[in-house]
A and B are shown apart, each in its own frame.
Chain A
Amino acid sequence: MQRNERELTLPAMNYLFALLFCMSVSLLPAQAAHIHAYATCHGNKIETGDTLPGGIALHTARFYLSDFIFINQGKEIFREKNSYHLVDLEFPESGDWTIHSSGFDEISFLLGTDSLTNVSGVYGGDLDPVKGMYWTWNSGYINVKLEGFSPHSKGRNGAFGLHLGGYMPPFQTDYRVQSGVASSEHIHIELDVCPMFEQADWNNHFNVMSPSAEAARLTELLGKSIRVYAE
């Protein structure tokens, strides 16, 4: 009786293993792209605590990247769901994530968050207000937060705080990046902060804490300094 049970059970188990194998194979993506987002100064990777050219000491550097779209020959082939990523230089791993897509020749994403996100109530994850990237006195996400000290800043002891946000015209601060890039296992997204710092108005705008023309100008400078490349 015991033997008969084994005879019946083994083929069933083999079948189960075969089924699980097929399922696992079907669930695996054909290819995945690992995104690596970080900040640089003229191409050199930086971390918080670094002193940048010009004597700028960067203590806080956080920025949102969102709404990732992968494109092939002008057609969208993949759009990431819940596509909100807060890159915090204090936690370098926050800039690393995986997207299950391949075969693209172009990617598109926002530096910042779109206006719809800013008017739709509270979100969790990287958008949770506990992350300290939501203005509490006025609605809206801070799309880029840069804090530190600069010898050029007229702030107290040279302090500066650039909280760049705003979702309503004329001071929208999300910046759409669209870049041709070969499909690859590793995609690098570099936000070069130094061109913006070199054009900052240290006399008058060492603190930017609300939607404004200056916030929009600085965000545009940052957006234009983003470089995307495949490894």
Chain B
Amino acid sequence: MLSKFIVSGITAIFFLSAATGDPITIPLPTGWPAPQYDNARNPLTAAGIALGRRLFYEPLLSRDSTVSCSNCHLSFTAFTHVDHALSHGINDRIGTRNSPALMNLAWSRSYMWDGAVNHLDMQALAPISNPAEMDFNIQGVAERLKAAEDYRGMFEKAFGSGEITGERILKALAQFELTLVSANSRYDRVTAGKDTFTVQEKNGYELFLKHCNSCHTEPLFTNYQFENNGLKPDTILNDQGRAGISGNPADELKFKVPTLRNIEISYPYMHDGRFKRLKDVLNHYTDGIEDSPTLSPLLKDKIQLGSREKTDLTAFLLTLTDREFLFNPEFRPPAPK
């Protein structure tokens, strides 16, 4: 009970600050690197975060006002669309990629599976305009919010005047998204010396360090690089990954290494959501790697894991689940007015 109280500290202080109107900074969990996001140009405020949260759950952002960010990014499932291989948007249109889980975004160097977006502020423009997602535009969003009843007051509280601009919409969304920090899993408590792994989890952790940590690097469980992890290309989606952005053939079939935090509940897995179970993922890494010129050198040699080792590794991965993050009431839809 005491340890739970202590590990909740970061999040509690964060939202207490937001509630009191004190200056808010992105929380920096012990041992983590400095965030990539520089909030000097977008200082976090309680009103800004509240506005961003409201916008995150706002269907007016989509062309037919039916879909909000939360449709593909549900708070209870680490802000991904659990059980959906590919994201879907208005009119039941299906996209080409799995919706990524959203957490610890301040530490990310780029966004989207192919790193197409270089800054969190700009990320929302992609789903808003994607025909398979919201099929709208930021100009139209701004006009709708100007016509809405209560947004002007929220913008005034957040930015000092009621002017509604694209810049302010995007900054508010970024402010809310920056609060989505997951750092209170059992793994974190063990690292902080407040808990211990079981024997099985400890074995799994050692296997993780040996086979996975190079790409899914602690403590954020990603190295933020782009890698080809040997998935057989989907001939229907024909997704070239990072090469589609960089134009560099050396980037073909490379996708951003996702975080493993909250991996237990953020299925299905991979950029195209092809694997429903963690078991499928581990089987891919031991028996399913397809060689190609851009395959990660770390996967050139077959990974050897027996069934017991896979069970142990899975046990460790489950310690990355952060229930406080998943059930944080501050992340849920704002109460209706």
In angstroms, Cα B168 to Cα A182, docked, is 40
- Inter-chain CA distance A60–B73, complex, in Å, is 37
Residues B139 and A118 in contact, CB atoms below 8 Å apart: no
Q: Which residue from A122, A138, A212 sits with its C-beta under 8 Å from B166?
A: A122
Docked-complex contact A122 and B126, CB < 8 angstroms? no
Supposing A130-B138, A138-B116 touch, asked if A121 and B42 sit within 8 A by C-beta, the answer is yes
B129 A122 Cβ-Cβ under 8 A: no
Could you tell me if A121 and B126 are in contact, using CB atoms closer than 8 angstroms? Answer: no
The answer to whether A137 touches B42 (Cβ under 8 A) is no
Nearest CB in chain B to that of A134: its residue: B125
Q: Contact partner of B116 among A120, A122, A127, A139, CB < 8 A? A: A139
Q: Does B120 contact A (CB under 8 A)?
A: yes
Check B129–A136 contact: CB distance below 8 A.
yes
**CB-nearest residue of chain B relative to A139?**
B118
**Does A53 belong to the interface (CB within 8 Å)?**
no
The interface residues of chain A lying within 8 Å CB-to-CB of B170 are: 122, 129
Q: How far is the CB of B231 from chain A (nearest CB, A)?
A: 22
Pair B165/A130 contact, Cβ less than 8 Å: yes
A122 touches B117 (CB 8 A): no
> Are B122 and A139 interface neighbours, CB within 8 A?
yes
Instruction: Give every chain A residue within 8 A of B41 (Cβ-Cβ).
Output: 120-121
Q: Check A137–B122 contact: CB distance below 8 A.
A: no
Contact with B along A197-231 (1 / 0, CB 8 A): 00000000000000110000000000000000000
Task: Answer whether residue A128 sits at the interface, using C-beta atoms and an 8 A cutoff.
Answer: yes
How far is B138's CA from A129's CA once the two chains are assembled, in angstroms? 7
Which residues of chain B (240-261) have a CB below 8 Å from chain A?
Answer: 245, 247
Nearest B residue to A130 via CB reads B166
B128 within 8 A of A: yes
| Cα of A194 to Cα of B81 in the assembled complex, Å | 50
Can you name the residue of chain B whose Cβ is closest to the Cβ of A140?
B118
Q: Please give the distance in Å from B143's CB to the nearest CB on chain A.
A: 9
Given A128-B166, A130-B139, A212-B247, A122 contacting B130 (CB threshold 8 A): no
Contact B129 A132 (CB under 8 A): no
A residues near B247, Cβ cutoff 8 Å: 171, 211-212
Interface residues of A in 52-70 (CB under 8 A from B): none
A124-B165 contact in complex given A134-B125, A136-B126, C-beta closer than 8 Å: yes
A-binding residues in B (CB < 8 A) = 41-42, 116-122, 125-126, 128-130, 137-139, 142, 165-168, 170-171, 174, 245, 247
Q: List 13 A-B contacts (CB under 8 A).
A: A118-B118, A121-B120, A121-B174, A122-B167, A124-B168, A128-B165, A129-B167, A129-B170, A134-B122, A134-B125, A136-B126, A136-B128, A139-B122
